[in-house]
Amino acid sequence: ADGCCLAWRRQLFDLVAEESVEFVDKMCPKEGKVYKDRIAVIALLRSRISRHRICVASTHLQRNPEDPTQDMLRARQVGQVLRALVEFSNQHGALDVPVVLTGDLNCTSFGRLRGVANTLSLMNREVVLHPFTFDCADVPTGVTSVTMARCMRIDAILYQSQRLELVDVQEIPDLTPHLPIPSAQQPSDHVPIVAQFRTRSQHHTMREVAKEWFLSLAGKEAQVPLNQHQLECAFKLYDHDGTGSISQPNLRKVLASLFGILPDQCETVCASCFADSTELTCQHFISLYLKSVKAAGLPGLEDLRDAFDLFDSDKNGSLDLSELLHAFEQCAPSTVPRDRIEEVFHIIDANGDGTIDLDEMIQYLAKSWTDGFNLAR
pLDDT of residue 124: 79
Q: What is the mean pLDDT of residues 201-219?
A: 92
pLDDT digits (tens, 9 = 90+) for 267-280: 999 999 999 899 99
From 338, 337, 305, 333, select the one nearest 321 (Cα to Cα): 338
Q: How confident is the model at residue 377 (pLDDT cuts 50, 70, 90)?
A: very low
For residue 65, cis peptide bond before it (omega within 30 degrees of 0): no
Please state, in angstroms and rounded to a whole number, the distance separating the CA atoms of residues 280 and 251: 9
pLDDT digits (tens, 9 = 90+) for 11-64: 999 999 999 988 877 655 556 666 677 889 999 999 999 999 999 999 988 887
Quick one: DSSP state of residue 69? Answer: G
pLDDT of residue 126: 61
**Contact by Cβ (8 Å): 193, 158:** no
- Size of the chain, expressed as the number of residues it contains: 377
Q: What is the mean pLDDT of residues 102-118?
A: 84
Percentage of the chain surpassing pLDDT 70?
95
Q: How confident is the model at residue 105 (pLDDT cuts 50, 70, 90)?
A: confident
Question: Taking 60 as the threshold, does the pLDDT of residue 178 lie above it?
Answer: yes
pLDDT of residue 112: 83
Q: How far apart are the first and last CA of the chain?
A: 49
In terms of pTM, does the model score above 0.75?
yes
Name the most confidently modeled range: 48-57, 111-120, 136-145: 48-57
Please state, in angstroms and rounded to a whole number, the distance separating the CA atoms of residues 210 and 202: 12
**Contact by Cβ (8 Å): 191, 172:** yes
From 301, 320, 302, 303, select the one nearest 312 (Cα to Cα): 320
Phi, psi of 95 (to 5 degrees): -65, -25
pLDDT digits (tens, 9 = 90+) for 289-319: 999 988 887 777 778 888 899 899 999 999 9
Q: Which residue has the higher pLDDT, 184 or 228?
A: 228
C-alpha distances out from residue 158 to 195, 197, 234, 324, Å: 10, 11, 25, 28
pLDDT of residue 127: 62
Q: Minimum mean pLDDT among 128-132, 231-235, 247-251, 358-362: which range?
A: 128-132
Question: Which amino acid is it at 160?
Answer: Q
Looking at every residue in the chain, the average pLDDT score rounds to 87
pLDDT digits (tens, 9 = 90+) for 250-269: 999 999 999 999 998 999 99
61 HSE (CA, 13 A, CB side): 31
Question: Which amino acid is it at 153?
Answer: R
Residues 6+ apart with CB under 8 A from 244: 281, 282
pLDDT of residue 12: 96
pLDDT of residue 251: 95
Measured in whole angstroms, how far is the alpha carbon of residue 247 from the centre of its chain?
A: 33
Sign of the dihedral defined by the CA atoms of residues 341, 344, 345, 346, in that order: positive
Question: Taking 70 as the threshold, does the pLDDT of residue 218 lie above it?
Answer: yes
Three-state DSSP class for residue 243: coil
pLDDT of residue 48: 95
**Contact by Cβ (8 Å): 122, 369:** yes
Please state, in angstroms and rounded to a whole number, the distance separating the CA atoms of residues 219 and 267: 13
Percentage of the chain surpassing pLDDT 90?
47
